Amino acid sequence: LLIQLLCYQGATVWLPDPDAVWVSGLLLQDYSPVEKHLLLELSDGREARYPVGSPSDLPPLANPDILEGENDLTALSFLHEPAVLHNLRVRFLDYSSIYTYCGIVLVAINPYEQLPIYGEEVIDAYSGQDAADMEPHIFSVAEEAYRTMTRSENNQSIIISGESGSGKTVSAKFTMRYFAVVGGASQQTTVEERVLASNPIMESIGNAKTTRNDNSSRFGKYIEIGFGRNGDIIGANMRTYLLEKSRVVFQASAERNYHIFYQLCASRALPEMRSLKLDAPERFRYTSRGGEMHIPGTDDLLDLERTCNALTVLGVLPDQRTELFRILAAVLHLGNVDIQASGRTSERSYIDADDRALAVFSKLLGVEGPQVAHWLCHRRLAVGGEALVKPVSGQQALEARDALAKHIYGQLFTWTVRRLNSALRAHREPARSFIGVLDIYGFETFDRNSFEQFCINYANEKLQQQFNRHVFHLEQEEYVREELSWSRIEFSDNQQCLNLLEGQLGVFDLLDEECRMPKGSDESWVLKLYDQHLSSKRHPHFQKPRMSNGAFVILHFADAVQYECDGFLGKNRDTVFEELVNVLKASQVGTWNQVGFNLDRSIGSGRRFRRSLQMLMDALDGTTPHYVRCIKPNDLKEAFTFDPRRTVQQLRACGVLETIRISAAGFPSRWTYEEFFSRYRLLLRGLRGQEHAGASCRQALPGLIPDPDQYCFGKTKVFFRAGQVALLERLRAERLRVAAVIAQSRVRGWLARIRHSRIRRATVTVQRYCRGAAARRLALTLRYTKAALVIQKTHRMVVVRQMFLTLRQAAVTIQAFTRGTSARFRYRLLVAERAAVLLQARVRAWLARRTYRRVRAAVVFTQCCARRRAARRALMKLKTELTHTHTHTQTRTQELAMFTVPLLRSLSLSLSLRGADLRADGALPLPPGLPASVLFLCVRQADCSGDQTHARAKYRCYSCPLPTSPLTLPRSPSVPALLESENITGLSGSAGKPGPSRKRAGSDPRAAAVGGDARTMSAVLRELGALHAALSRQDLPPALMEQAFSQLSYLISASAFNSLLLRKDMCCWSRGMQIRYNVSLLEEWLRGRGLQAGGAAAALEHLIQAVQLLQAGKKSDRDAQALVQSCTALSSQQIVKILTLYTPQSDLEERVSLNFIRTVQVPCYHTHFLPYSLIAFLPCSLPALLPYSLPTPKGGGQSVIVNSNK
């Protein structure tokens, strides 16, 4: 019924499209149940007819324009797939915002471009803030987890998931960097450095290039970061899951092996790497199968240096690092071992004794080469209690070689993780609480899915179940907190699918049973699956493909996936011959023994993965989870390119749409009574004021929404089901339309009367002017006739005169030509005569200069000889004076030693004279500046006495160096007061756009620390006044006073400016008026105390310009030009960010159009040459200028000292 009411002419709906997934259409007529088609106008201008069989077939409705670009998807009035996809597209492409909330989930879209939003100044801006007030960001999730942990000491977890190339690893890296900065005070300690140093190591040995991502993580990672009682990082622990070991021996086309192999090959020319016998990656089988040797924009040699530095930070010794590289190089050489088949049917195989790769492999690992060659081509079997050695075929030997390589790399990867955990373990104290960061594969589906995809999707099923239960639990808590009588919300529980995978006689159970069979095979295993889940009782989540008997289909929560059974048993067994492992255990490499090559055949890979996953789920169940879903916008890795088909596929796979469905099942739209009353006051006629908003809403809503099941009244909020806010918006728009029609009719009548009066007066005026024009036309005709006679007379005279002038000009031209020819001939004769005279003068001058140079050379030679003899005489004289000076210096040294002995005796005597100091608590308050005056007199007396040693000692005692370490300033309530204090009455009540409050219970860290009065400008000004009075009592010089308040004004202004850039609710016209008024109060306070001249007022300039930008017009090109010329203190990035965040607070305003933003952006890049930074750098300190002035001469009698201090 609701959708039928909202399907009226002019409404926007969404239609399915094969290319864009969803396209918008405008209804050209109202919906009628009788009509079987909807007449629509598509976004490209075409008309279309959409078939509608019943009201349930109506297309999804679009949200109001005021909700476009909302930073929380659950705030949308209509919660469905097209609305979510459109909102993400608008934020990503139009506003360049890669982060969007979806309830408790943060959706992060990979921009494939470096953005300046991860600096320390951004971390400082998010630190200590409430996530509901800030723009969506990965730092807001990290801050919420960190603050919740420090307040309640409950363990937290951040679950980051998404498919390869979506930015999971980068998000996890920035999360750990945030914890390292916030939990490590002003400087990173050793623990924080080690936590961050683990990233390049794990990327080297666990990341590889794929077709979807140049730095794809090929394993799951869960890091628990431990925090002490003060909130600082004291240790960490890492767990890994499902390493893709098959990549070591095989890579698909256009892919690479793990980065560490290419880094070693790139450094083969280094002296410490020559013993590894490495070559170019094209020469090794394990690094050349994918055909990709290099990644554009990546330097493997530089990456290896970064990895070595990280190993050093984590305490790995150079010898251990070298042995680690030896094992990795041995894996590469093992892949080059050439195994050849022999025999008629190739049932045997052998390795040449002089195989170079085998020799290098054996030397690097310190094992016997013949033993390795033998057991690669043979296998030991136990038959009837006897051990038989059986040769294997060439294909089996190749499989054994690859299995050995995978086993070595897997064990080495496990040892590296253990070594990292040992370095990251807390040693100072046990961790009070921890925050876990989970970086794991998202849901995967390819053309051919195998055992790896099966395990990944199983893990995502477990995580989705945990997510569903957590979301449902939060919904229950919200309803209980608001004292609602609610019915149980239905949500999709995937327990049936999990029972199919992990239950008794499930997929994993039958797989382990088949692996225990001596002749088990993939084909027999899949037949057992068919018999178990299709024959006896058909499982709703299991299907058999129509055209295949070697595959099965699992209906996961995200999509149906077809798995090929080929290779399941082999990958689950993870088979490697025990004889080869025994050969490796005899290695002489020291690190080899620490790696520990234990061969556990008791359980398969699947069961081992299930156990580790269950441990992970138990750990996550004991934490408060926070979710980040990473989205890959396109497969071409192009910056800010949005592919709707790929995006919607990932939204379905990562559970974002499931979150929307759960929210839509209950009451997704939630308003406080004050917000609802402010927005829909015009619908609530004859009711009480703002102070009785709750009673007014309870009284008016039954008349607006007849169905009581569509809304519910809570303790502090009113709850609506999906679509009800859109209905209220339509009623509000209709009420505004009727009022507008009445106002227009009155105005149009008044305008018509005014127009009639003006026309009447204009008619009389036109008639008067017409009669006057006729009379003037007659007079003008007579005047023209007389003028024609004058013109004819003048014309005849001009023709005759022109002929005379032409003849006279011809005669003058002939005379001039004749005279010119004669003059030019005389001129050429004079030039030739002048050139001859000049040539003679130049020759005579050259002869004279040659004679002069010869004479000067002879004179210089004579002078040099005379000066050489004089220099020799001076040198002899200086040597004699040097000898005399050495003798005099020795004599003065002996005299100084004799003079020092009495001084030392007098010094020892003075140390024996001691007295009792006066008690400090008995002294009366000193006059300002008295201690400085007394100390200055003491220094002057020592200086006048002539004893420089004593004077320098006094100066050192009375002076101390200033501290150079940065001070951590406590957070001041001045920023909330400057931004949120409402000193102008009447502006706060403006109706805001519809959207639920994202404030979570107990999530605001400022509520406990900041009182009600601390958020007002009067309280801030009182604090500044107290500080000014304290400094004045100490006789601080005016110049230093001005500089101190200039620095303080900069810190207040920069903090407020940063919060303004990161809070969308602050970027509106009314809030700009409030902030500008608050800033003017601060400016008036500075002027009243004469502090504006020292730069304090200038420090507020960028905040003032930002507020003016909110208040200025934003429509025409003239407005854009005015903004560029006035906002000179803002960078182009800051101007664009404020315009993007600007949010209209009423229907009378319009959004800032993208064309206007682009119009402002182009001239800003050419005129605003400011640093490429989004927000102001808070730790910045302004240069201090210490004025130098001679002290006033002051004798001891002029200093007033009370008797108790004498």
Output DSSP code: residue 575: -
Helices 1038-1062/1017-1033 angle, 10° precision: 160
Q: What secondary structure does DSSP assign to 257-305, as a single string?
A: -BHHHHHHHHTTTSGGGGGGT---GGG-HHHHTTS----TT--HHHHHH
DSSP state of 12: E
DSSP conformational letter for 61: B
**Secondary structure (H, E, C), 739-756:** HHHHHHHHHHHHHHHHHH
Number of residues that this document lists for the chain: 1206
Tell whether residue 477 is among the known ligand binding residues: no
Cα–Cα dist 324/836, whole Å: 91
Q: Identify each DSSP E strand in 135-175 by its residue range.
A: 156-162
Q: How many CB atoms lie within 10 A of CB 86?
A: 21
Q: What angle do CA 1090, 1091, 1095 make, to 5 degrees?
A: 140
Q: Are 225 and 231 in contact, with CB atoms under 8 Å apart?
A: no
In whole angstroms, give the CA distance from residue 7 to residue 301. Answer: 63
- Any idea of the CA torsion for 210, 215, 219, 220, to the nearest 10 degrees? -130
Of 294, 355, 365, residue with least CA distance to 325 = 365
Question: Has 166 been labeled as part of a binding site?
Answer: yes
Determine contact, residues 265/299, Cβ cutoff 8 Å.
no
Q: Rounded to whole angstroms, how far apart are CA atoms 697 and 677?
A: 7
In sign, the C-alpha dihedral spanning 528, 529, 534, 536 is positive
The two tokens of residue 354 are 């002089």
In terms of Cβ atoms closer than 10 Å to its own Cβ (0-12, 13-18, 19+), residue 564 is buried
Annotation-wise, does 128 bind a ligand?
Answer: no
User: Under a CB-based contact definition with an 8 Å cutoff, are residues 170 and 181 in contact?
Assistant: no
Q: Which helix or strand (DSSP H or E) is residue 520 part of?
A: none
Q: Cβ(128)–Cβ(1005) under 8 Å?
A: yes
113: Cβ–Cβ under 8 A, 6 or more apart, which residues? 639, 640
End-to-end CA distance of the chain: 94
Instruction: Tell me which residue of 474, 441, 470 sits closest to 458, measured CA to CA.
Output: 441
Distance, CA of 159 to CA of 172 (rounded, Å): 9
Do the strands 433-441 and 156-162 form a parallel or antiparallel pair, or are they unpaired? parallel
Contacts of 638 (CB under 8 A, 6+ apart): 112
For the purposes of burial, counting CB atoms within 10 Å of the CB of 734, is it exposed (0-12), middle (13-18) or buried (19 or more)?
Answer: exposed
Distance CA 1176, CA 1133 (A): 12
> Active-site residues: which are they?
164-165, 169, 213, 216-217, 442, 444
Do residues 1062 and 126 touch, judged by C-beta distance below 8 A?
A: yes
- The verdict on whether residue 883 carries a ligand-binding annotation is no
The verdict on whether residue 164 carries a ligand-binding annotation is yes
165 annotated binding-site participant:
yes
In whole angstroms, what is the distance from residue 278 CA to residue 931 CA?
74
Q: CA–CA distance from 781 to each of 773, 775, 787, 794 (Å)?
A: 12, 10, 10, 20
- Yes or no: say if 185 and 411 are a contact pair by the CB < 8 Å rule: no
Q: How distant, in Å, are the alpha carbons of 270, 752, 759, 762, 772 from that of 766?
A: 99, 21, 10, 6, 10
* Binding site, annotated residues for ATP: 162-169
* Binding site, annotated residues: 162-169
